[in-house]
Amino acid sequence: MPTDFAGLLDICRRNCLEPRSDSRAVQPGDIFIAVPGAVEDGARFIPVAANAGAAFIVCRPDVKREILETAKTCRITYHNNPREALGKLAQARWHTDGLSLKILGITGTNGKTTISYMLEKLLISLGEKVGVIGTVAYRWPGHSENAPMTTPDPIILHSLLARMADAGVTVVVTEISSHALEQQRVCGIPFQGAIFTNLTQDHMDYHQDMESYFAAKTKLFLELPRQDKAMAVNSDDDFGCRLLDLRPSALSFGLERKQRELHLQGKILASGPWGLRLRMLCKDTAWELSSPLVGVFNAYNLLAVQALGLGLDLHPKDFSSLETFTGVCGRLERVCNPAGLNIFVDYAHTPDALVNVLKSLRGAGFSRIIAVFGCGGNRDKGKRPLMGEAVACHADVAVLTSDNPRFEDPFAIIDDVLPGLAKAREVHVEPDRRTATALALDMLTKDDAMLVAGKGHEDYQIIQGVKRHYSDQETVRELLRCI
C-alpha cells in the first residue's frame, strides 16, 4: 500500500528510522531511497533492499511495475525527486531542523578551505564552540576524522550535525562543493550564512560548461533556506557580479571600488614575504588589519570572512584574531628544512589557483620559481593546457609530473598539458612524482622558491584505481635527508 511522503516523514521522525541510499547498507525496518545516480539508477536495487528487510521504499512514480512487484513486503512512497526526499528524510531522522546550530556555508572554486579555517579561528575567539565540515576533515572539539569528500551525502551530513549539537557545538562551518549542490546533498540544511569566493574553470567533466557550474553554485544563495541568511559575495569576480544581480541584498566585498551601498571595500596597504596590511571600509566605518598570509588571493579570503562577519552582526574590532592566523596545511604551506630552502606545498589544482599562488611567490622577490605540478586523471581535460599556461607565464622552471592519474595513462595526461607549456622558459617532464620532486630539489638554490602544487593536504596518490600513501611534504623531507 502506498504511503504519502508527508506521512513517511512523520513516521521516520517519530521512530528514528534509518534512511538508506545504498542497498548494501539496508537493515530490517529501514527506508530505502532509490536515488538516480550518474552511472546506476537506484531503482535497480529495490529488490536487493526489499530482500534485506526494508520497510519502506521511496522511488519515482515511473519505476517499472516488475521492479515494484519484487518489493511487495515494503510500503512504497512515490516522490518526483528522490534526492530531495533523501535530504528531508535525513533531516527527519536526525531532527536537524530543530537543532540550535548556526550553520555557515562557503562555496566557490578557490579559497573555501582557508576561509573555513579563518572563520573557525574568528568564531572561537568570540567564545563559540565550532565544528567544521570540509575538504581536510570533519571535526569539532574532541573529535576529528578524515574527510572522504568535501561535502558528504545527506545521511552523513545530517548525522554529523546531530553529533556536533550533542557535543555542544554552537556554529558549524561547511565547505559546499558544486557537486553537493547539484546533487542536493545539502537539502534540508538551514544555512544562516553563505560566502561566494569566485568561479573559475574546474569540474567541467561533471558540469560540462561554466553556466551549469555557476547555476549549481547559485543554489546555496537562491534556493536553500533560509532566505534571510547573511550572504557575502566577491564582486571582483564576474560570476560574483551576476550573483549579486540575483541577490542584491548580499554584502559584496572586493579590492576594486564598487558603487554599492552594501559593500566592503578593501585596499592592500602593503604586501611582502612577511604578509599583508589591509584597510577596510564599509559604509562609514574604516579599520585596518595585518596578516602573516601572503598574496592577493589571501586578501580576498580575509575580506570574505569579514564580509560574512559583518552580515552576522560582528564588529570590526572582533576581527583582530585574524591577525594571528598563519594558514592551513597544504595551502601555500612552507616545508621547513635545515638547509633553509624555500619549499612550498599548495593544493592549487585549477589554472586560476596556480596563477594566484605563483603570483604570490613572484611578489615575494625570489630569484627563480620552480613549479612541480600535474593534472588529475579522469577529470576535466579542458583545464590541462590552461594549467600549463599558468606555469609557463608565472614560473621560471616547470617540472611536469603526475597528480592522481586514476585510470588514465600518465603520459596521456602529460601530452594534454604540454601545449600549454609551449612558451615556458624551461620544462622538465617526469611522470613519477617523487622523482620529479627530487629533480626540482637538485635545481633549487637558497634564493629560489620551489612550489609543489596539486595535492596540498592529501596524503595519497590514486594510480590505476589504487589509493597509495603519498605526501608531498613527507617526500620533500625524506629527499632532503638524502642530500
Q: What is the pLDDT of residues 207-247, one digit of tens each?
A: 468 898 999 999 999 988 777 899 999 999 999 999 999 99
End-to-end CA gap in the chain = 73
Give every CB contact of residue 62 below 8 A, 6+ residues apart in sequence.
none
Predicted confidence at residue 333, as pLDDT, reads: 87
Q: Taking all residues of the chain, what is their mean pLDDT, rounded to a whole number? A: 93
Alpha carbon distance 345, 46 (integer Å): 46
SS3 316: helix
pLDDT at 144 over 90: yes
Predicted confidence at residue 207, as pLDDT, reads: 47
Predicted confidence at residue 2, as pLDDT, reads: 60
Question: Which has more pLDDT, 402 or 295?
Answer: 402
Q: What is the pLDDT of residues 279-327, one digit of tens each?
A: 999 999 999 999 988 889 999 999 999 999 999 999 999 999 999 998 8
Mean pLDDT across the stretch 449-469? 95
Is 406 within 8 Å of 376 (Cβ atoms)? yes
pLDDT band at 22 (very low <50, low <70, confident <90, very high): very high
| Distance set, CA 154 to CA 21, 181, 186, 278 (Å) | 10, 11, 6, 39
pLDDT band at 201 (very low <50, low <70, confident <90, very high): low
| Distance set, CA 134 to CA 105, 127, 168, 180 (Å) | 10, 21, 19, 12
Alpha carbon distance 167, 161 (integer Å): 10
Domains assigned to the chain: 5-85 (3.40.1390.10), 95-324 (3.40.1190.10), 333-482 (3.90.190.20)
Q: What is the pLDDT of residues 156-177, one digit of tens each?
A: 999 999 999 999 999 999 999 9
Mean pLDDT across the stretch 436-463? 96
